Structure 1
Amino acid sequence: MSYSASDLQNDVDRLLDRLGLEITGDDCDGYTVRHAGRDLTTARGTIFDTAAEATAAALDGLIDLVEDLISASKVVIVRWEHGDLAEAVRELDVCVRVVDGTPASQSGAEKAEDRRQTRLRHLVRDGLRFDECVTAFSVTERQVCAVATARSLFHQRGAIEIPAATVVSRDERGTAVMAWARVCDEAEPLDLLP
């Protein structure tokens, strides 16, 4: 008996269905991953060209959720004897609600933000460093011209440094470019009060 790619897709779809995840769509409009009656936004996006890409995104998201549950469960175990057990249970509750699609009093955006904050706290606890975040979010002056503009206007070696690859943030007022202000550790605090 041979096991084809379509057989694998059917088995994966069946297993995802057991978790309440459904791949929907068509070749014209694209494919989405649905959970508890709503489209999911995954790390890979929301709309996919093929059912296989949507399935891969669903599996990625599922692995992320399992990692979140394991991490939140470990926090509950550690805090059982000492620490803030209530906070740990709240973190676990956020993870469980995301996995099973249980409606919460929060909006979807607030729940997603809670989930990201929980995951970030777990990453920091597990050793995530700020420089790793900068590397993950950085763009170059070739990618975003605001980096080149900020470097030409404000970069002063040894004082205000703006690396060629840095982090930017955009809002309605424009683009903010992350810079580093160098200060001497032995410097006296400035008396800013009159």
Structure 2
Amino acid sequence: MNPEPEKDGLWPPRDYFVAVQRLRAVIGQVIYLVEINAGEINAGVKFSAQPLVLLGVIDYPEPDPYRQLCPHMLILNDGRGVNLGRIARVSINTPFQPQGEDLLFTQQDFVQQFLFAPRSLSRESIQQTSTMLLQQMFGDTPGRLLAQSTQADEEQANSYHPPLLTQPTKS
């Protein structure tokens, strides 16, 4: 299986396949990874100075650009297989600020669109994010959860009868 880049840009660009060839050339050598940590509402990267030995570059059977799964994955000596879509950068010789030939692979789209993209923190952006998260947790109908809990509280209050307090009589 040797996927070629598509002309309409739906698949990784040609430089992706050039980088895969550079990675295959260093199998058996020490590499350094910068891994992507993507969550529901944010994304970041994990820089590690831990040297890893690249054991292989294999075809990934189910690539999916919507889930950031590239058509190749790296097999590492720590027992992991990591898809190239989950890696921001692969370098040799240095874990931090690699230059030129030391830089084997870079996930350019992720780096430019997410890591170094301009950000603005405003009341509107906080409100939009908070609203979206609250709707995911409680539903998109305002007050529905509160109305249900108020009705249940009233029913419980009406059905509650405290025990009678009696004091033992002294004889």
So what's the TM-score if we normalise by structure 2? 0.31
Radius of gyration: which is bigger? 2
Q: Which has the higher helix share?
A: 1
So what's the TM-score if we normalise by structure 1? 0.29
Q: Which has the higher strand share?
A: 2
**Relative contact order: is structure 1 or structure 2 higher (C-alpha 8 Å, sep ≥ 6)?**
2
